[in-house]
Amino acid sequence: MASSFFLFRLFKRKGSSRKSERSEQSRHTSSNNTSYSKNKMSSVSTSGSSQQNSEDFAASQYRYDEQGRRYHNRSDAAYILPNDDEEIDRLHMQHWILKISFQSNFGSPVKKHLEEGINVLDGGCGPGTWSLEMAKDYPQSKFTGIDISEAFPSEIKPSNCHFQVHNVNDPLPFSQNHFDYVFQRLLVVGIKEDDWDNVISQYMHVLKPGGWLELLEALLPECVNPGPKLELLMNTLAEMIEPRGVNPRIVHSIKDRMKKAGIEKVHVKYVEIPVHHGGKIGELFWQDFVMGIRDVVRPVIIKKHPELEEPDAYTNFIEECGKECDELKTCIKFYRFCGQKPTTIIA
């Protein structure tokens, strides 16, 4: 718990996040225009053009919504959550919540191997919190994190931890039988239902015989003891992602999909994490939930309920939802699937 909390505090950004994102966007746009004009007039055009190309490339990777939240800009990707500072803070906090709830950072029987030194892939790593902590805890092993957005640190990180931008839905840029352990967490809203078999198959391809695959996902939109306000939020999220080909109830088929891919010894553990009750975990999980879903579903919510269009009205609705969860003792289910690639592959 201590090391996870340390990481959460270490990477937590101070000051406003959404406001700073808006300012960053404004400065970036202004900087691009100014830089472009200066570069055309400057005699030192080579370095200026290089800088401009770099800025243009970076700008093309993102898009911004009306609230100033930043998102990836890939039209073929299903993932709908932001990738700005506020989202990075949320994911750091979420890591701590899941570690405490599952009482460990992983469920596969790989501790001894990690201590001796193995290659580990973290698929959809986000800001890299899991890999960074694991790299610190197991310095003999090498950790590689991939994500669709460059939200992970590029410089300040353990020497045995590396990151690269890559979408898990695309062919993996690694050789066959390269990793001993593959870990993926909470891509329920990031992988289309028709792509899950392909993603698992790719993980199997880069796993060594005898290696372990671990997937941790949430069950959406169903909750334990939900109230009408939370159901509105969760059902709205489901309505937003289902047309994109995403199945929010994918946990019901993951075990069978793993077995279909040839994975053996598949075992499942699930926990119910309290929402706005049950002590510190419940408080933090409510904060995590609100940060993750509030701005994403708001445009759809206010279309259904115009009376919530005013910021204060919507904020009050979210607060009432939290009270509702506390009164009803609402929980959300998370499932962890672990399985092993056969040591002998029969053609």
pLDDT at 72 over 80: no
pLDDT at 27 over 90: no
pLDDT digits (tens, 9 = 90+) for 263-316: 999 999 999 999 999 999 999 999 999 999 998 899 999 999 999 999 999 999
pLDDT at 123 over 60: yes
What is the arithmetic mean of pLDDT over 136-159?
A: 95
- Among 76-90, 242-256, 285-299, which stretch is predicted with the lowest mean pLDDT? 76-90
Q: How many CB atoms lie within 10 A of CB 270?
A: 14
pLDDT at 92 over 90: yes
Q: What's the chain's average pLDDT?
A: 85
Q: Domain map of the chain by residue range?
A: 2-14+77-340
Distant-in-sequence, close-in-space partners of 243: CB < 8 Å, separation ≥ 6 = none
Class of domain 2-14+77-340 as given by CATH: alpha beta
Q: Is 195 exposed, middle or buried (0-12, 13-18, 19+ CB in 10 A)?
A: middle
- Kindly give the residue spans of alpha helices, DSSP state H, lying in the chain: 2-11, 18-41, 45-60, 85-102, 111-116, 129-137, 196-206, 228-241, 251-260, 280-304, 311-328
